[in-house]
Amino acid sequence: MQRIYFDNAATTSLDPQVLEAMMPYLTEKFGNPSSIYSYGRESRLAIETARKSVAKILNAHPAEIFFTSCGTESSNTAISAAVHDLGCTHIITSPLEHHATLHTVEHLHKRGDASLSYVNLLPNGHIDLEDLEHQLANTADKTLVTLMHANNEIGNLLDMHGVGELCKLYGAIFHSDTVQTVGHFPFDLRNTPVHFITGSAHKFHGPKGVGLLYINENVRISPYIHGGSQERNMRAGTENLYGVVGFAKALELATAGFEADSAYIKGLKIYMMEQLKKNLKGIAFNGDPLGRSLYTVLSVSFPKTEKSEMLLFNLDIHHICASGGSACTSGAEQGSHVIRAINHNPNQVTVRFSFCKHNTREEVDAVVGRLKELI
């Protein structure tokens, strides 16, 4: 039976055109980018060409773009630098952040490097901007605000400009985990009040193992990883040459296809919502799926029964890939911290379906039909 893959927020398939762009650097163009001979210069040129391409698409300066190993490394770098280099002694975040952020801020707090507070949530899972402003206005400490652009489990979109303007007003540093939106959402970083954003190629049909860290040109920080002078002395270690090339190619393809692909994927999401409501009783959708929400993600809660408690396992048996939340916590017994924070109903089982341009309505129909049988 053919597999149905509805877990694209966890990772996406590698686009054949991206693999084609990477192949020369996996084979004959293998020179170390730090070497001075032609093989090395050829590799260095590929990296800097990729950097310029990414910067142009995000409307940033090439000097603001740094390549890392993943979104987690990028967020760790930005958050740690805000505290250790930029003088932030207080951190404001939300209970819905990815663990790459939550565990980092908790670590800094436990070490005594910064105090920590969490912004209130609205009933639909959006950030309460009034509470954020209240917290910023009532602290004398220099503050880091770290809030994700789109939640990886429920899809809610943050008003980045609104948060950025508040941070500017109160002199705070703003970091946004944009791993779910780089490659899925247009950015204009020259006109966005943000100090750091992050990205990861495997979320938009690029390779795993390569990430992005944008550092605004007005920010000066120290390296997070020490060693050689790679990435303009900001990230030591031999560059992931073919990964960087793949990142740029995947972002170029995602940008070129954004209008058509986003409309198509949003249509699939809405179609699945309609079919689930039509065919299954007692379901609920988490977050704000028809409002300010990422078009790729749909979080669904089903009534808890003996059958539904084994839902993900049974979907897997029937070759359907979905998630109980973030892939990073899929093996954790306590389940999703995001769903616990916004949905206090213990009698529900939550599944995240996430889509890409390769999914079809026929797949949606097959999954809904299977859900009817399983529930």
Tokens of residue 229, six digits: 């002078």
Report residue 332 CA to chain centroid gap.
20
d(CA 193, CA 168): 7
d(CA 367, CA 375): 12
d(CA 279, CA 368): 8
Exposed, middle or buried by CB within 10 Å (0-12, 13-18, 19+), for 62?
middle
d(CA 223, CA 104): 17
Question: Which candidate in 70, 167, 321, 328 is catalytic?
Answer: 328
d(CA 160, CA 307): 40
SS3 348: strand
Query: Where do the H-state alpha helices sit in 27-70?
Result: 38-58
Closest by Cα among 215, 134, 127, 180 to 11: 180
d(CA 287, CA 20): 38
Amino acid at 102: L
Is 356 catalytic? The answer is no
Tokens of residue 202, six digits: 């495997």
Q: Exposure pattern of 242-261 as b/e (b: 16+ CB <10 Å)?
A: bbbbbbbbbbbbbbeeeeeb
Residues paired with residue 127 on neighbouring β-strands, in sequence order = 121
Phi, psi of 58 (to 5 degrees): -85, 0
Closest by Cα among 335, 25, 327 to 203: 327
Please list the active-site residues: 328
